[in-house]
Amino acid sequence: MMEEAKEEERTPVIEVDFNEMVSPDVVLVARDERVRDVAGAVVHLREGMRVVVCMEDVGDNGQQEYITASGTAARNTACDWSSHVPWCCQIDSWGRTAHLER
């Protein structure tokens, strides 16, 4: 049985691909409302839910880093190449940041 994240207790951290940006402040998240966070717990996405999205990357210096951003889960309303993925993250005004560790 899958362990479910307790949404009230913490903001889920969900792995994404920042190469799949729908716009400068929107990244694709999931094809289903149920997604696993980085700890392996199942998260039920809902409109307006606070999330942190992250991606493992290699920086310009060759070191492994993690790119993170915070925002809110939203339905993808785009009618373009991304329309097959219904869930995205509207990144907040803090934007994306890179960290050397997760």
Query: Distance between alpha carbon 15 and the CA centroid of its chain, in Å?
Result: 5
Confidence of residue 59 (pLDDT cuts 50, 70, 90): confident
Q: Which helix (H) or strand (E) is 83 found in, with range?
A: none
Of 76, 55, 74, the closest CA to residue 66 belongs to 55
> Across 34-48, 54-68, 81-95, which has the greatest mean pLDDT?
34-48
CA distances 36 to 45, 62, 93, Å, are: 10, 28, 25
Per-chain mean pLDDT for the chain: 87
In the chain, % of residues over pLDDT 90: 68
pLDDT at 63 over 90: no
**pLDDT at position 4, please?**
52
Report, as an integer, the average pLDDT of 33-58.
94
The full set of domain ranges for the chain reads 13-99
